């Protein structure tokens, strides 16, 4: 089983087909539920969207039940994280994610979930293509595909790549971002 000591990878193809008689507007939404106790992370865009650096380049979306002063919610200029150790309540945050990946670490193991982001496409939830939800039992890493209108019989696919890294073999970029938030 050479190679599995450093990384395991799987690709998931989610396919939605309109089996109805009418056109239907939707966005693919893939939810991955993981055991609480670790830390979830979504990277934030740091590059400028214009040559002078005057346009906004990132935004965060919060759901109404999210306490923005929660000690489990952490925001840095380069990433947002949720420490999945809530004792009650829930929180959810999302953002447009040009990097396409989000991650969760638990007991030294790193899970990375990737989905393509199209900057010109329309996304639901105020363009939050990557989202994290957490309560006392689980944390969810969620990816959304762009909004599409399907004619009867048409399909849309949303692809994710999952990677798992053991302790000591994390990608350097991701390790640095997790290092911003100390447990």
CATH of the domain at 159: 2.70.98.10
Tokens of 117: 């982001």
Mean pLDDT, to the nearest integer, of 19-25? 96
**Considering the domain boundaries, does residue 35 fall inside one?**
yes
Q: How confident is the model at residue 5, as a pLDDT?
A: 60
CA distance 28 to 152: 16
Q: Which domain holds residue 160?
A: 8-47+57-179
**Considering the domain boundaries, does residue 52 fall inside one?**
no
Q: How confident is the model at residue 103, as a pLDDT?
A: 98
**Considering the domain boundaries, does residue 76 fall inside one?**
yes
Q: How confident is the model at residue 57, as a pLDDT?
A: 85
Tokens of 31: 């939810």
**Considering the domain boundaries, does residue 97 fall inside one?**
yes
Query: Residue 113: pLDDT band by 50, 70, 90 thresholds?
Result: very high
What one-character-per-residue DSSP string does 33-74 give?
EEESSSEEEEE---S-SSTTS-S-----EE-TT--TT-TTEE
**Considering the domain boundaries, does residue 94 fall inside one?**
yes
- Confidence check: pLDDT of 9 > 80: yes
Instruction: Give the mean pLDDT of the chain.
Output: 93
Query: Residue 183: pLDDT band by 50, 70, 90 thresholds?
Result: low
Mean pLDDT, to the nearest integer, of 8-25? 96
- Confidence check: pLDDT of 2 > 60: no
State the total domains in the chain.
1
Residues 34-66 pLDDT 10s: 999 999 999 999 888 888 888 888 899 999 999
- Confidence check: pLDDT of 1 > 50: no
């Amino acid at each position: 089983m050479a190679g599995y000591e450093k990384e395991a990878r799987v690709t998931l193809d989610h396919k939605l087909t309109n089996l109805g008689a009418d056109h239907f507007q939707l966005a693919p939404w893939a939810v991955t539920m993981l055991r609480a106790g670790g830390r979830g992370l979504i990277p934030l865009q740091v590059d400028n969207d214009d040559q002078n650096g005057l346009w906004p380049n990132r935004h965060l979306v919060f759901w109404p039940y999210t306490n923005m002063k929660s000690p489990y919610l952490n925001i840095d200029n380069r990433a947002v994280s949720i420490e999945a150790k809530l004792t009650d309540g829930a929180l959810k945050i999302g953002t447009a994610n040009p990097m396409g990946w989000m991650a969760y670490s638990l007991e030294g193991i790193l899970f990375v979930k990737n989905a393509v982001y199209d900057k010109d496409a329309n996304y639901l939830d105020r363009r939050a293509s990557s989202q994290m939800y957490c309560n006392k039992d689980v944390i969810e890493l969620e990816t959304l595909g762009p909004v599409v209108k399907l004619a009867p019989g048409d399909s849309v696919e949303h692809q994710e790549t999952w990677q798992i890294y053991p302790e000591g073999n994390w990608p350097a970029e991701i390790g640095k971002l997790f290092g911003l938030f100390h447990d």
